[in-house]
A and B are shown apart, each in its own frame.
Chain A
Amino acid sequence: MTISLKPSNSPPEKLQPTGWLKYLSFSLDHKVIGLQYLVCGFLFYLIGGSLAGAIRVELISPLSDFMPREVYNQVLTLHGTIMIFLWIVPVVNGAFGNYLIPFYVGARDMAFPRLNAVAFWLIPPSGLMLITSYFINGAAQSGWTAYPPLSITTPAAGQIIWILSVLLLGGSSIFGGINFIATILKLRRPGLKLMQLPMYCWAMLGTSILVVLSTPVLAGTLILLSFDIVAHTGFFNPSLGGNVIVYQHLFWFYSHPAVYIMVLPAFGLVSEILPIHSRKPLFGYITMVFSIMGIVVLGLVVWAHHMFTSGTPPWMRLFFTIATAFIAVPTGIKFFNWVATLWGGKISLNAAMLFSCGFIINFVLGGITGVALAQVPFDVHVHDTYFVVAHFHYIVYGGSVFVIFSSIYHWFPKFTGRMLNENLGRLHFVITFIGFNLCFAPQHWLGLNGMPRRVAEYDPQFQLINQISSVGALLMALSTLPFLWNILQSILYGAEAGDNPWNALTPEWLTSSPPPVENWKGEAPLVLEPYGYGEKDSNKTQEGMK
């Protein structure tokens, strides 16, 4: 049985909003939904970033003088939740996935466009709900991990709103994941094999498998937690005979894969950007595919390395240490593949390339501390200290957020038909890179010397390092300004981009910028070698097209 792409009961073209209004509508176009995700995510990034700023201001002095401790707890909880669930996960998956995957598989839209729009429109209400909870009786105070018994004993209203909003975001994530799996596996243009897909498709396939397998477990856990809070059951409440460790296991069964949900798509995006700006084929396509799938499998069985100090039995420590150390193998393969892609290439140091290179550097640093943290004797010492904070931010900010910026610089011409200002982009990179490293590198030292995370006050001996870190945070905040100015300026007055400003071979560049609703006028192109740069015959094809 076949179904028509356009449902017969959709409103006539005239009634559908056009222009910028379509970005506020329940649009079924994957490109509109992708940009909805991106802009919505960026607005939440600004909010989450302001909260991070508040945290850094509080930590300038050892006393809790900028805000009360309860407010500090709420701020750090909101910061973590917003940045993870409303900025990085929706943007690296939802925004770029929705925009690019249909192009890459040669389709006109995602497999389930309506489900896709539902998945996006779950995000703004749950985000607003989460933020409003701050003004109603205070937001959740137990961090983004919501460990019981802390989450059971802190004020219930904020915690319940937090749970509801994370449940909605999880639902959105699952719908998105199902959609990506169906699109990549089922909606491929005839003649296009899996092993000919651009790497981002593989990354999204792996990520979506993780989403579908692990997010429901978090949903179930949070439902049990909400029972503990509202109905006073005792699943995770030791005073009622419950077991907090079970919560930690179930939580990390989702939240460790969540790190890969945030970073695997970033791997995919970098694998698209590096070959184009260094004019070389992606090095080691097959090993890339296998290392992505290896990370997916291993990522599901390493969760308890977050719990080495939770009374984990020795056999469990041994197993999870070894499994975690093994993850460094596929990740290392990917790292060397990227470096080999750059090696001897004709590198253009534009903003997209700079941010991608920044990603590689930061990610290696974060990866090294990750392997260190997997070792029990070391982890027991730095558990819940700023060392973990530094490691985590090197992965998700130095990793994922750098890639998001890189991708914005790379695909902005496709999104809008206009070029971004490269010099402002380079300025943005330099300030971000310096600010980021100034902010988080000293935190390794703080952690090694025993400064605990998530506490508003600290020992006065740490003051100088904390102030250096706060200066870095200020630089990161300032780096947003050239970026925003660049975006606004370029949308209005940027140079015309043309269809293919980077001379890329991947299918999204083989159409106009911005692309028409149907993605390509006429038939979808069949791109069998998305990375055929620098080879004579592909150059010929390039020229033949001009």
Chain B
Amino acid sequence: MTSIVPKEQSSESKKDFSTEEHEDFRLFGLIAFLIADGMTFAGFFAAYLTFKAVNPIGPDAIYELELPLPTLNTVLLLVSSFTFHRAGKFLEKNESKECQRWLLITGALGVAFLISQMFEYFTLPFGLTDNLFASTFYALTGFHGLHVTLGSIMIMIIWWQTRVPYGRVNNENKFPFEAVELYWHFVDGIWVVLFIILYLL
């Protein structure tokens, strides 16, 4: 039984270790980060649900939210997830013009979501400090909006980097694309949960 393979002797000790390769697990790291990020949202959701359960606010406070605009937002984000996926399919086929077009649509949908969210903010009858419900509403949607903002910026960067021939993201170097796509689906999924908890419950 050999419990130890002894270290190599001097003949091979000059081997350059920097040429060794290992598999790419950057996506794995990103998934771990998204789990952590998801836990932040989970904390917010838990706080919101507890507030709602044990801290009844005054009868004059507004619990009811208008549904049309957030429903539109949900559709915008769900469609954008689909268009992003579509762009990925074209990237795999090396059709970068098509890929860029779909990425641009995705980015535009993200920006449209943000504008629509902003519009909702300005039309709401309550402000950040009005009551507990209002504060939690703005904290949750704001934190999610921050994620959408960062995602939209990253989509625009990816869009710029998929241009031919100078862009650095292509079928051979797909990680940046995949990372942003995964992040975008994550932000989308969080919105669906947020929509259900905040608007429908």
Contacts and interface: CB of A to CB of B under 8 A. Distances in A.
Interface in B144-201: 174-175
A182 B29 contact: yes
B112 interface: no
Contacts of B1: 537
B3 A234 contact: no
B39 A241 contact: no
Interface stretch (A146-154, A208-216, A330-338, A347-355): A208-216
A230 to B, nearest CB: 11
Interface string A212-224: 1111110111011
B7 A511 contact: yes
A103 to B, nearest CB: 12
A520 interface: yes
Nearest to B8: A522
Interface band, chain A: 35 or more
Given A5-B22, A108-B20, A216-B43, A242 B4 contact: no
B46 to A, nearest CB: 7
B44 A220 contact: yes
Nearest to B61: A241
Interface band, chain B: 35 or more
A214 B43 CA distance: 9
A525 B35 contact: no
A234 B131 contact: yes
A212 B21 contact: no
Given A522-B13, A522-B15, A174 B36 contact: yes
Nearest to A520: B7
Contacts of A178: 29, 32-33, 36
A2 B23 contact: yes
Contacts of B36: 174, 177-178, 212-213, 215-216
A3 B21 contact: yes
**Chain B contact residues, majority secondary structure:** helix
A514 to B, nearest CB: 16
A308 to B, nearest CB: 18
Given A3-B24, A234-B129, A523-B12, A246 B47 contact: yes
B94 interface: no
Contact of A233 (B22, B54, B129, B175): B129
A2 B50 contact: no
B92 interface: no
A434 to B, nearest CB: 41
Contacts of B55: 241-243
Given A217-B43, A241-B131, A242-B132, A541 B2 contact: yes
Contacts of A221: 43, 47
B120 interface: no
Nearest to A238: B55
A221 B57 CA distance: 21
B20 A5 contact: yes
A55 interface: no
Interface in A498-524: 505, 510-511, 518, 520-523
Interface string A179-202: 101100111000000000000000
A107 to B, nearest CB: 8
A327 B50 CA distance: 27
14 contacts: A4-B19, A108-B17, A115-B29, A182-B32, A215-B36, A216-B39, A220-B47, A220-B143, A233-B135, A241-B57, A241-B131, A521-B15, A525-B7, A544-B6
Interface of A: 1-6, 107-108, 111-112, 115, 174, 177-179, 181-182, 185-187, 212-217, 219-221, 223-224, 227, 231-235, 240-243, 246, 249-250, 253, 505, 510-511, 518, 520-523, 525-529, 532, 537-538, 541, 544-545
Given A6-B19, A186-B28, A525-B7, 9 more contacts: A3-B24, A178-B32, A212-B35, A217-B40, A221-B47, A233-B139, A243-B51, A243-B55, A523-B15
